[in-house]
Amino acid sequence: MTKHNWFYSQLFTNWKRFEVIYVTILILLQLTVFAIVPDSPIGMISGSRVSFASSTA
């Protein structure tokens, strides 16, 4: 058995079924909001295209 570091153990081992479902739903919700309104705060956090130069006159 391979010994992993603390970070790997916290992220990728010993997940309960509820935790996997909960995190999956949150990620899908974030992707859905990004697809519907990419300029929303959630869309910006998830990496949408942000344009600062378009408001100059």
42-48: long-range contacts at Cβ-Cβ below 8 A with a sequence spacing of 24 or more? none
Q: Where are the domains of the chain?
A: 4-46
The pTM assigned to this predicted structure is 0.56
The model's pLDDT over 12-55, given as tens digits with 9 standing for 90+, comes to 888 899 999 999 999 998 888 878 887 777 666 666 554 554 44
Cα(5)–Cα(41) distance, integer angstroms? 34
Based on its alpha-carbon atoms, the radius of gyration of the chain, rounded to whole angstroms, reads: 18
What's the pLDDT at 14? 86
The DSSP letter of residue 46 is T
What's the pLDDT at 36? 85
**Could you identify the residue written with the tokens 């899908």?**
28
